[in-house]
Amino acid sequence: MIRAQAIRGLILPGVLSLAVLAVLVSLGTWQMQRLAWKENLIATVSARVKEPAKSLPVANTWASLDLNENEYRTFFARGRFRHQNEVLVYTVLSEPRGSFSGVGYWVLTPFELEDGGIVVVNRGFVPRELKDSSTRTEGQTFGPVRITGLLRAPEQTNYFTPANDPAKNSWYRREPADIVRAFNLTGVAPFMLDATGEYRPHMLPQPNETKIVFTNNHLGYALTWYGLACTLLGVFSAFAWQRIRASRL
């Protein structure tokens, strides 16, 4: 016969185990939801980057442009670069498509459109030792040019990313609004273009470095949380069985 004392001794451990189990299952379910989101993102981006380039919408439509529906689509435009307002955003390029990698900078340059307005263009990567524009004059294009690029929303960052400090010319985030304030620009698009196009060896800035391959470890994380939940069930079951068995002796 199971003693009442043994039953009472299982109440608190049971409640605590149930609470932890609920947390573990919730975390596993959340990771499964993240998995679905990531797979959809990968499929969407993969399809959009293959679409033919379209003409960049005119400036008076930018306020109503749905960035979520247009991010990673290719657009083209004509205008001229404002190299005097070039900004270098610190980065580390680990998996380059071009010749250069490692510690360096994204080169962000406002681009004056022929039909009005300005769009900030991420022209690509330059290594730290070649950050000075005088060391890469071939890439400083003057006069009217036609550009193509992937539309990108302002960069989402976390608490570990320092804020931009235009006064010290220290840039860590690709944020058009900060460039607008730093150079007192008007009519600037609320999005950016990541430069695409034909790459020549040792070309700087180095274009085509937009990250379109995303890490997807959510299934592994989900299985880990669910595995811990199963382990907890097993441990509590063994614990309860020992308590009950001992009460019968």
Share of the chain above pLDDT 90, in %: 57
Q: Is the same domain home to 35 and 105?
A: no
Nearest to 224 by CA among 37, 24, 34, 35: 24
Q: Is the same domain home to 188 and 134?
A: yes
Q: Is the same domain home to 35 and 64?
A: no
User: How confident is the model over 82-124, as pLDDT tens digits?
Assistant: 999 999 999 999 888 888 899 999 999 999 999 889 999 999 9
What domain range includes position 34?
4-44+217-248
DSSP-derived pairing of the beta strands 145-152 and 74-81: antiparallel
246 CB neighbour count, 10 Å cutoff: 11
209, part of any domain = no
Q: Is the same domain home to 63 and 165?
A: yes
Which is more confidently placed, 223 or 212? 223
Res. 1: pLDDT tops 90:
no
Task: Kindly state the average pLDDT of the residues 68-80.
Answer: 94
CB 87 within 8 A of CB 130: no
Distance CA 52, CA 146 (A): 16
154, part of any domain = yes
207, part of any domain = no
Q: Is the same domain home to 122 and 66?
A: yes
Distance CA 192, CA 196 (A): 13
210, part of any domain = no
User: How confident is the model over 122-175, as pLDDT tens digits?
Assistant: 999 999 999 888 888 877 888 899 999 999 998 877 778 888 888 888 999 999
Q: Is the same domain home to 172 and 98?
A: yes
How many separate domains does the chain show? 2
- Predicted TM-score (pTM) of the model is 0.79
Q: In the 3-class helix/strand/coil scheme, how is the chain assigned residue by residue?
A: CCCHHHHHHHHHHHHHHHHHHHHHHHHHHHHHHHHHHHHHHHHHHHHHCCCCCEECCCHHHHHHCCHHHHCCCEEEEEEEECHHHCEEEEEEECCCCCCCCEEEEEEEEEEEECCCCEEEEEEEEEEHHHCCHHHCHHHCCCCCEEEEEEEECCCCCCCCCCCCEHHHCEECCCCHHHHHHHHCCCCEEEEEEEECCCCCCCCCCECCCCCCCCCCCHHHHHHHHHHHHHHHHHHHHHHHHHHHHHHHC
Nearest to 122 by CA among 179, 170, 163: 179
